[in-house]
Amino acid sequence: MTEKWIVGVDLGGTTTKLAFINLYGEIVHKWEIPTDLSNEGKNIIINIAKAIDHQLGEMDVDKSKLVGVGMGAPGPVDTKSGVIYNAVNLGWKNQVPLRDLLEVETSLKAVIDNDANCAALGEMWKGAGNGAKDLVCVTLGTGVGGGVIANGQIVQGISGAAGEIGHITSIPVGGAPCNCGKTGCLETIASATGIVRLATKKVQDSSDSGELKNIYQTEGSISAKYVFDSARNGDQIALDVIEEVAFHLGLALANIANTLNPEKIVIGGGVSKAGDLLLNSIKNYFDQYSFPRVKESTTMAIATLGNDAGVIGAAWLIKNTMVK
Amino acid sequence: MTEKWIVGVDLGGTTTKLAFINLYGEIVHKWEIPTDLSNEGKNIIINIAKAIDHQLGEMDVDKSKLVGVGMGAPGPVDTKSGVIYNAVNLGWKNQVPLRDLLEVETSLKAVIDNDANCAALGEMWKGAGNGAKDLVCVTLGTGVGGGVIANGQIVQGISGAAGEIGHITSIPVGGAPCNCGKTGCLETIASATGIVRLATKKVQDSSDSGELKNIYQTEGSISAKYVFDSARNGDQIALDVIEEVAFHLGLALANIANTLNPEKIVIGGGVSKAGDLLLNSIKNYFDQYSFPRVKESTTMAIATLGNDAGVIGAAWLIKNTMVK
């Protein structure tokens, strides 16, 4: 059999990432198209179908080379029915039969899942998970997302809301408001947004001077990157912010691990680029708060696939259906 | 085919429960034998084999009626290899090839798992789980145990330590010491032992009089049952204890649900007999701390099988191998 390809699609609110991926999970070609949110998102799937056909033409490859299309989408997905709910970022109201639409428009077999789950599957298959069948992925970006894999399968939960690690309640009383309607969610602390909030408050409250305070006074605001840079230079306020973030992440991840004892916890997203300073501190708290047998067996790793995790994990959705 | 039976065994440190269970999960006959801990536990498995044969004789039933024996055991189990680790309560040092021993002595096909996991499987199959494929079971007894089922399968974790819900860290700073070596574990609060500890401290610290304080002064100690009884009678100290326990349980269960979005969380064990007073309070905190979509879809239920959950879940281990 000549090499077959899977189409991996990572559907985002601004950009849609696509890739042709071989059956070994290797990216043959990847590209992006803008996500067209006009007209209540009616063009989104047609544009994906056109993009695939156009790219095949460019590469002079017959469509029979494609065995299917896997897609990660930004919202809760019922994988059995292939329906996505409340994908408000795409302009879709209520529920959309996304898998069926994708199959009709592309004339390919389609499988869909939530985008955070696809990222987790990508890391399991080809990234830091390294084939681990029990895996928890946490993405520290603008928000905090998560994906849970147990016994080699994504845990969806009864309404597709499993993996909402960002909405673990870290501060039960007096926490900051979260977009979800609760207060004190992990996301209000450990996301880039949360870090900026914590740092701004500490800088405003502190009478000490220092690098981060100077930046704030000069620029009028702070970014998460400034916090990490200042911490690396030994700025005390920045170090305090990192410590607070690490405490809440270490505690939450330890409690997840006490429940699931995964082989690996993979940490990804922009905030994970803070590097060893943050990670060592998370690890310290994780060790302190995890059950001894869990501490000995569950390890932590930084995500390795970056932005490719989504398309690779989406391709895995198809790969997984090919197991005899 | 005439009706076949599965042997379900729930191996405990004091008593071993046995049952003949039909393929629909209905108990045909159940009985108990003492667990013989002498001689480093060498007689435990032989006694189980003898008890099965003896009971067949009593009932005048041929051994060919039995399709296999499933067993729950008190310790971390590697279900693939059938090995149990550190079952110190049974006098077993290091690891014991429990499944193989059970197969040899009984001449029956055997499957083993951890006892808390078996209780969870029992509740999934025939109890409060009612067939739910995503289920979290919490047992509030002398300690706090747990079992996690995702996609219809027990989550074992990489070293069999998944489901250690009792060792979720509920009080990160200044909590009470736990048997596991950490401090502030959920078990130090929400177990019968934890409730007694909290109540004793509150009674000693309080200058108010009341039912619970009177009991303490008369008896010199408090039991968990006294706390529940006094709370039902409106004793303020007892109500405060219940509120504190419910806060920590509600928060921990909400955070588990934010991670796994199970269809049901089943609460069992002696402490669950505290009834609606405790449960309504847990539910209030659960609703407060769970992600909105999780709150809407994950429900809580009281375990219904009582002491039978273990043998029924153990029988399910064999039933599960019969799926074509």
Instruction: Please compute, for residue A73, the number of CA atoms within 13 A of its CA located in the half-sphere on the CB side.
Output: 33
Residues 6+ apart with CB under 8 A from A292: B180, B181, B182
User: Whole-angstrom Cα distance, residue A243 to residue A226?
Assistant: 15
One-letter amino acid for residue B285 of the chain: Y
Please list the pLDDT of chain A residue by residue as tens digits (324 residues). Answer: 579 999 999 999 889 999 999 999 999 999 999 999 998 889 999 999 999 999 999 999 999 999 999 999 988 889 999 999 877 778 787 889 999 999 999 999 999 999 999 999 999 999 999 889 999 999 998 889 899 999 999 999 999 899 999 999 999 999 999 988 999 999 999 999 999 999 999 999 998 889 999 999 999 999 999 999 999 999 999 999 999 999 999 999 999 999 999 999 999 988 887 888 899 999 999 999 999 999 999 999 999 999 999 999 999 999 999 876
For A155, phi then psi, to 5°, come to -85, 115
User: Mutating which of A136, A259, A295 best tests the B interface, going by the most B Cβ atoms within 10 A?
Assistant: A259
Q: Is B40 helix (H, G, I), strand (E, B) or coil?
A: helix
Residue of A134, A158, A252 with shortest CB distance to B261? A158
DSSP of B247-287, one letter per residue?
HHHHHHHHHHHHHH--SEEEEESGGGGG-HHHHHHHHHHHH
User: Whole-angstrom Cα distance, residue B262 to residue B11?
Assistant: 28
Exposure of A260 by Cβ count < 10 A (0-12 exposed, 13-18 middle, 19+ buried)? buried
Would you say the C-alpha torsion A126, A264, A139, A178 has a positive or negative sign? Answer: positive
The CA distance from B176 to the nearest CA of chain A, in Å, is 13
Could you tell me if A169 lies within 8 Å of chain B, comparing CB atoms?
yes
Q: Record the tokens describing residue A167, joined without a space.
A: 């909405």
pTM of the model: 0.91
Q: Among 3.40.50.720, 3.30.420.40, 3.40.50.150, 3.40.50.2000, what is the CATH number of B132-304?
A: 3.30.420.40
Q: How far is CA A177 from CA A184, A274, B73, B81, in A?
A: 6, 25, 45, 48
User: Whole-angstrom Cα distance, residue A104 to residue A92?
Assistant: 18
User: Mutating which of A86, A88, A164 best tests the B interface, going by the most B Cβ atoms within 10 A?
Assistant: A164
- Please compute the mean of the pLDDT values over residues B88-104 and round it to a whole number: 89
In A, which residues are within 8 Å of B157 by CB distance?
134, 260-262, 294, 297-298
The CA distance from A95 to the nearest CA of chain B, in Å, is 15
In A, which residues are within 8 Å of B294 by CB distance?
157, 159, 161, 164, 167
Query: CB–CB of A259 and B296 under 8 A?
Result: no
Q: Record the tokens describing residue B314, joined without a space.
A: 């153990």
Residues 6+ apart with CB under 8 A from B125: B25, B131, B312, B313, B316, B319
One-letter amino acid for residue A140 of the chain: L
From the centroid of its chain, how far is CA A75? 12
Residue of A151, A255, A288 with shortest CB distance to B155? A151
Residue of B155, B165, B289 with shortest CB distance to A150? B155
From the centroid of its chain, how far is CA A252? 17
Could you tell me if B49 lies within 8 Å of chain A, comparing CB atoms?
no
Query: CB–CB of B164 and A261 under 8 A?
Result: yes
User: Whole-angstrom Cα distance, residue A268 to residue A284?
Assistant: 18
Could you tell me if B162 lies within 8 Å of chain A, comparing CB atoms?
yes
Residues 6+ apart with CB under 8 A from A19: A7, A8, A27, A28, A29, A30, A31, A308, A311, A312, A315
Query: A132-303 is classed in which CATH architecture?
Result: 2-Layer Sandwich (3.30)
Q: How far is CA A32 from CA A72, A120, A309, in A?
A: 14, 21, 14
Q: pLDDT digit string (tens) for B25-77?
A: 999 999 999 999 998 889 999 999 999 999 999 999 999 999 999 999 988 88
Q: Is B303 helix (H, G, I), strand (E, B) or coil?
A: coil
Give the neighbor-by-neighbor strand order of the sheet with B27-34: B27-34, B15-22, B5-11, B66-73, B110-114
Q: Which residue has the higher pLDDT, B271 or A312?
A: A312
Name the band, by pLDDT with cuts 50, 70 and 90, for residue B324: low
User: Whole-angstrom Cα distance, residue B90 to residue B75?
Assistant: 9
User: Whole-angstrom Cα distance, residue B84 to residue B87?
Assistant: 7
Q: Give the strand pairing for B95-96 and B83-85.
A: antiparallel
Count other C-beta atoms under 10 Å from residue B201's C-beta. Answer: 12
Count other C-beta atoms under 10 Å from residue A81's C-beta. Answer: 12
Q: How far is CA A99 from CA A73, A80, A109, B85, B179, in A?
A: 10, 10, 9, 45, 50
pLDDT of residue B259: 98
Query: A5-123+308-321 is classed in which CATH architecture?
Result: 2-Layer Sandwich (3.30)
Could you tell me if B217 lies within 8 Å of chain A, comparing CB atoms?
no
Query: CB–CB of A260 and B157 under 8 A?
Result: yes
pLDDT of residue A90: 83
Residue of A153, A156, A168 with shortest CB distance to B258? A168
**Predicted complex ipTM:** 0.91
The CA distance from B130 to the nearest CA of chain A, in Å, is 14
pLDDT of residue A264: 97
Query: CB–CB of A162 and B259 under 8 A?
Result: yes
Q: Give the strand pairing for B66-73 and B5-11.
A: parallel
In A, which residues are within 8 Å of B293 by CB distance?
76, 159-161, 164
Residue of A150, A169, A296 with shortest CB distance to B150? A150
Nearest residue to B185 via CA among B196, B172, B198, B195 = B172
Surface of B (233-272) touching A: CB under 8 A? 247, 251-252, 254-256, 258-263
For B36, phi then psi, to 5°, come to -90, 105
pLDDT of residue A75: 84
Q: Record the tokens describing residue A225, joined without a space.
A: 């990157």
Q: Which of A267-281, B10-24, B246-260 has the lowest mean pLDDT?
A: A267-281
Query: CB–CB of A293 and B165 under 8 A?
Result: no
- Please compute the mean of the pLDDT values over residues B222-238 and round it to a whole number: 95
B6, B21 Cβ separation under 8 angstroms: yes
Residue B159 has pLDDT above 80, yes or no: yes
In B, which residues are within 8 Å of A167 by CB distance?
258, 291, 294
Residue range(s) of every CATH 3.30.420.40 domain in chain B: 5-123+308-321, 132-304
Residue of A161, A172, A288 with shortest CB distance to B291? A161
Residues 6+ apart with CB under 8 A from A311: A8, A9, A10, A17, A18, A19, A21, A27, A30, A72, A118, A122
In A, which residues are within 8 Å of B256 by CB distance?
259
Residue B212 has pLDDT above 90, yes or no: yes
Residue B87 DSSP code? -
User: Whole-angstrom Cα distance, residue A93 to residue A79?
Assistant: 18
Exposure of B174 by Cβ count < 10 A (0-12 exposed, 13-18 middle, 19+ buried)? exposed
pLDDT of residue B1: 55
The CA distance from B157 to the nearest CA of chain A, in Å, is 4
Among chain A residues, CA nearest to B155: A150
Residues found in chain B: 324
Nearest residue to A135 via CA among A113, A116, A112 = A116
Q: Which of A169-173, A183-187, B92-96, B247-251 has the lowest mean pLDDT?
A: B92-96
In A, which residues are within 8 Å of B265 by CB distance?
none
Could you tell me if A135 lies within 8 Å of chain B, comparing CB atoms?
no
- Please compute the mean of the pLDDT values over residues B4-9 and round it to a whole number: 98
pLDDT of residue B90: 83
Name the band, by pLDDT with cuts 50, 70 and 90, for residue B2: confident
Residue range(s) of every CATH 3.30.420.40 domain in chain A: 5-123+308-321, 132-303
> How many helical (H) and strand (E) elements, i.e. helices and strands, does chain B have?
12, 13
